[in-house]
Copies of this chain bind each other. A is one copy, B any other.
Amino acid sequence: MKVKRIPVVSRVLEANDRMAGENRRRLAAAGVRAVNLISSPGAGKTALLEASIPRLVPRVRVGVVVGDVATTRDAERVAALGVPAVQITTQSMGGACHLEAAAVRQALDRIDLSKLDLLVIENVGNLVCPAEFDVGEEAKVTLLSVTEGEDKPLKYPQAFRVAKLAVITKMDLVPHLRFDLEALRRNLRKVNPRLPVVELSAQTGEGMEGWLSWLRGPGKA
């Protein structure tokens, strides 16, 4: 069973990488920085966008592509902030656990890239599959909430290896948890020693400046 799957998977990944390359060239040509947010369900990707976007616009023109298995709730939450938001639901693609470059291309067709500086791609909530798929982003960012436990970088290493930034969310909950922040930091270093880490709370605003500065991109802080 496994042996049979490999060539098909390779072909799928090759086709995806080709299309991701096209997306990347298109975004670069339009001068749009694209970041791809990866996390477990409920780690707070949408809440982070809700806290970030009002602090970025209008100086940084932001658009959002949201991936989910089902519902358009997150795109609605983002659109309520007055920025362009496109929802991709993967239910029609067999309930895929990640976004692929082809789906993101379709989303790009529905956004006026000439009016954007930053495109945030909020992937399907999942720490495994999205790490394996390039969708044409400039950087992947992996979020991890403190409620998920300090061992997650070791258990889902790929998500932290492919990331250009790790964001630890829900820092305001630390006092209410049995949670060893130093162990989490150590586990992140073990998996990816050069990964920059931002620790923040979208609710209290703690740590948001470091994240916003990274998000704006080099030389735009």
A interface with B by C-beta (< 8 Å)? 1-2, 4-6, 8-9, 11-12, 15-16, 40-42, 68-71, 73, 93-97, 102, 124-129, 132, 145, 147-149, 151-152, 154-158, 170, 173, 176-178, 203
Contact = CB atoms under 8 A, between A and B. Distances in A.
Nearest to A132: B95
Given A97-B129, A126-B128, A128-B69, A152 B41 contact: yes
Nearest to A47: B149
Contacts of A11: 1, 4
A111 to B, nearest CB: 22
Given A5-B12, A15-B1, A170-B147, A42 B152 contact: yes
A184 to B, nearest CB: 11
A97 B129 CA distance: 7
A173 B176 contact: yes
